[in-house]
Structure 1
Amino acid sequence: MVTKVVSSSRRNTTKPRIPSTSKRFMIVSSCVVTKTVALLESTRSTGATSMTER
């Protein structure tokens, strides 16, 4: 993966900003998705437990 990224970055020397921004966006989006999923799962589990307790 690292070698592929380096080769692609070297090939796209004329447009270095587009790939960098896309990579950053992908990383940020992945982190946000994981956090949101974790929060949703935690809220669902707590909600289910509270409903069962009630």
Structure 2
Amino acid sequence: MMTLQEMGIPKGPMLAGAGIFRNCPGFGGQYLVRDIVSGFFIILKINTG
């Protein structure tokens, strides 16, 4: 990071972009877990009548 700053590249936008990139798997995982739990309850409901 210090090398980029010495070259005149601002670090603020890079840190913001890294933060957004870091949160993407979290949002995707949230939907994945929700879908798996929903599917489990659908199968349970079908099997129990």
TM-score above 0.5, yes or no: yes
What runs of 5+ residues in structure 1 fail to find an aligned partner?
Answer: 1-8
Across the aligned residues of Structure 1 and Structure 2, the Cα RMSD in angstroms comes to 1.4
Matching residue within 15, 21, 30 for 1:26? 21
- For normalisation by structure 1, the TM-score amounts to 0.66
Larger radius of gyration: 2
Matching residue within 15, 18, 29 for 2:10? 15
Structure 2 CA distance for aligned equivalents of residues 19 and 53 of structure 1: 52
What runs of 5+ residues in structure 2 fail to find an aligned partner?
Answer: none
- For normalisation by structure 2, the TM-score amounts to 0.71
In structure 2, the partner of 1:53 is 48
